Chain A
Amino acid sequence: MAFKEYRLGSAMVGGSLGLSMIITIFLPSFDLRSAVSTKVALEKQLSAGFDVGFGYADPLLLGINRPITVVLEADPKTGAKFDPPVTAYVYQSGVPMPPNVRHPNDLGKGVQDLSEGLGQIGGVSGSNHSVGQKEGVVFTIGLGEFDGEEVSYIENATATRGWVPEATLAAAGDKNTFKISQGKTEFVVQGCWWCHTLLPEQTQDWQVFGAPPYLGDFNGENPTAFGSDRKAPDLLHVGTRNSSREWMLLHFFNPRLVQVNSIMPRFDYLWGEKDAQGNVIDYDKWRAEYLEYASGKRVYPPEVPDYAPDSEIRALIDWVLSLK
């Protein structure tokens, strides 16, 4: 054991791994952290909330404790009409605050200043954080000016306009309520991202799938889950290509209804037990009739049931259609 080459060797292994981590993690972190949130990033994180993967508030990923996105045609407090309508993000009590409300310095220069100043998000983060959580908060996205440039920022509408979660949800009504956060959780849990990406590449495919995202589009998103392996169209802007809820309905129940050659799995199980009218959905019957249709014994495929308002598929479609 007198031979000490291993001492030097071990030190060198540690040293080179350390150096490699300095170059590949520490240095890029300056670039990555200097990203300034775009409006897209604010919309994404306010509608998705703290986490769409595993987290304390929803450890089994059932879609509970999630923010809800609403579109308001009138002010929930004063009743004044809005034209155009205003999108608000409702965080009821117990829902964790969005990442960058907790850590505003990740918003980037300008956005942070305006959000903390005009937007008054300081009240919910920092020391009052738990107070804000208890009563719930409603956020909107404001537009202000910083250094002569237009900047979108997060606005705590509960502080600036006195909107409270329950009244805001009531003012919007079910038709204008979108469960985008739960929908994105479905995207992660159901593994849509093993086939679909959320990242048009910086090559030609933006002509079909739309513009590739900017650096600042990702601030506050967790997990980003933009996928690595594409077997299906990119979805980042799918809502602009196809905004038909009816098409989505058929396509998710059984993609072969609208696209015979599709390899997308059926997501009929996301309908749950009952349809919109509260009737039990008879899947076996549906599948049997569909088989008859597929083998040419029936002219029309069986009717796809309407989903119940609290079904998982509703949340998923809400999210898909929000991808503009």
Chain B
Amino acid sequence: MLLKYLTGKNEDIPAGSSAIFFGFSSIFWFVVGTGLGSFNAAKLAFPDFVTGTELFAFGHMRQVHVLAVIVGWISMAFAMTMMYMTPALGNTKLWSEKLGLWTGMMWNIGLSTALLSLWIGITSGREYSDFAWPLDLVILLGVITPLCVNVIMTIAHRRTQGIYITNWFFGSCTFMVGIVLLVGNSPEYFHLTGLSEAYLTWWNAHNLLGLWITPVAAAIAYYTIPKLTGNPLYSHRIGHMHFWSIIVFYSTPASHHIMSSPIPEWLKSFASVEGVLILIPAVAFVANILLTMKGKWTLFVENIETKFSMTGVLLAIPLNMQGGFQQTRSINWYIHGTGWIVAHAHLALLGMSTFLEIAAVYFGLQQMLKRKVYSLALANIHYWFVLIGFCIYWISMTIAGLIQGAGKIYEVPYIDVVIAEHPYMIARWVGGTMVFTGNLVWLFNMWMTARAGTVLPEGRYAHELAYER
């Protein structure tokens, strides 16, 4: 069927096909990515687990996990939401379903190739842009560009007057992430060396997070929460303040990732100040959503999508408090390079961002498949496994990070730090494995939804129907 659509005429493809394709692809990569994460965690807890083969060495697998979850799960879930939210918000159809399906195909093929090559060791040696640059270009031209064209053309062909805040984010973030990848990989095409290379590596990593992962996740919440609660967004203006301050403040503090390297001091100070200012968009977002929930907090308990969404929004609070302050000089020296940062990275990606996306994928898949989610019980299992697993992960790595930080400044022999961290490494593995298990349940649940979920009556939203299982 996919093949027929890929070669068929755009008009013949039912609306929502690309969203469904992206939705299932993203869940698949989520399972793969978290499985790899759990495997890596096992290796850090028990170093002799699967030992002695090059391919299964920790150093070959870690970056595959990171890019599988970022490019596979998170970004594909973004694409999925763009495929259904952008047209819905413009009261129109997706500009080209066919292009959407092709983007999804290219994405799966390109990403599999890139991850396989990374796995066997073909790497540029630059964190978060580890792929060799020809593959970076494939992703940029074959995936990000068509996605951006599709989103922006859909917005341009909208049949509403204004542009809702979510679409502002979608349109500009797909564009900006392209620029970021183009410029951020320049050390590879132009062979820049030395600190220029190091700085651009982190410029790229920072802006991938700042102009792609966090803002798009927030944009998704601007759609799902009003939709699910039936309340209008508390303030579109605060939303715009969020939007503009993201672009102005979040695009600048790249160098706070390499505070202990000898880059110019003015750049470090500038980055720290701008980094604290990220609290402006952060607080604007959280406040806006919390105020939108007014009077509808029961849904936080009753409705699975709201549950996921609001958990994501609430996790944004500790995330931003950490993020704003851990990059100032007075705190960064203590926690830099420790497990604290790993905990923070998972709070952002597995906590805030992933929860918002899970909600949107649940919501969108039900809507596009025109079926109610198969089982509430399984969805709740999914929720609690991911939440509890994540909390174990986050708490244990935060503690491990504080131990490492203390070890660092008191100059404890390194091996004592390794010994002290060991229980937390095991805890992290347990937590991560729970997340992975939860995702398997999710994949099953969504598969069953597509096959056996109750069909939605015409013109109804899934969340308006009662759960049956």
A interface list, Cβ under 8 A from B:
3, 5-6, 9-10, 12-13, 16-17, 20-21, 23-25, 28-29, 31-33, 35, 41, 45, 50-54, 59-61, 99-100, 106, 188-195, 197, 199, 201-205, 207-208, 212-215, 217-233, 255-256, 259, 261-269, 283, 287
Contacts and interface: CB of A to CB of B under 8 A. Distances in A.
B204 to A, nearest CB: 11
Nearest to A189: B121
A191 B53 CA distance: 14
A188 B122 CA distance: 10
Interface residues of B, number: 84
A224 B163 CA distance: 43
Given A3-B161, A191-B60, A202 B121 contact: no
Given A25-B183, A192-B59, A261-B419, A219 B193 contact: yes
B125 A220 contact: no
A269 B56 CA distance: 11
Nearest to B258: A228
B45 to A, nearest CB: 8
Which has the most chain A C-beta neighbours within 10 Å: B171, B176, B260?
A: B260
A235 to B, nearest CB: 11
B337 interface: yes
Contacts of A259: 415
Given A28-B264, A189-B59, A204-B411, 16 more contacts: A3-B162, A31-B267, A41-B194, A203-B409, A205-B408, A213-B262, A218-B262, A220-B193, A224-B195, A226-B261, A227-B127, A228-B337, A228-B341, A262-B418, A265-B57, A269-B52
B257 A263 contact: no
Contacts of A223: 124-126, 187, 197, 201
A215 B47 contact: no
Contacts of A215: 195, 262-263
Interface in B135-188: 155, 161-163, 168, 171-172, 175-176, 179, 183, 187-188
Given A5-B163, A17-B179, A28 B263 contact: yes
Dominant secondary structure at the A interface: loop
Given A16-B248, A52-B125, A5 B196 contact: no
Contacts of B54: 190, 269
B307 interface: no
> Would you list the 3 A-B pairs with minimal beta carbon distance, nearest first?
A191-B59, A53-B125, A223-B125
B185 to A, nearest CB: 11
Contacts of A191: 57-60, 62-63
B243 to A, nearest CB: 9
A20 to B, nearest CB: 4
B338 interface: yes
Contacts of B168: 9
Contacts of A20: 247-248, 251-252
B4 interface: no
Contacts of B384: none
A256 B415 CA distance: 12
Nearest to B43: A265
Nearest to B50: A265
Contacts, number: 237
A6 B51 CA distance: 56
A220 B338 CA distance: 28
Contact of B194 (A205, A218, A225, A261): A218
B418 A25 contact: no
Contacts of A263: 44-45, 47, 418, 422, 425
Contacts of A283: 52
B115 to A, nearest CB: 15
Contact of A59 (B122, B192, B194, B255): B122
A265 B47 contact: yes
Contacts of B260: 199, 201-203, 212
- Of the listed residues A59, A230, A259, A268, the one surrounded by the most CB atoms of chain B closer than 10 A to its CB is A230
B404 interface: yes
A177 B262 CA distance: 32
A5 B126 contact: no
Contact of B247 (A17, A204, A264): A17
A227 B183 CA distance: 21
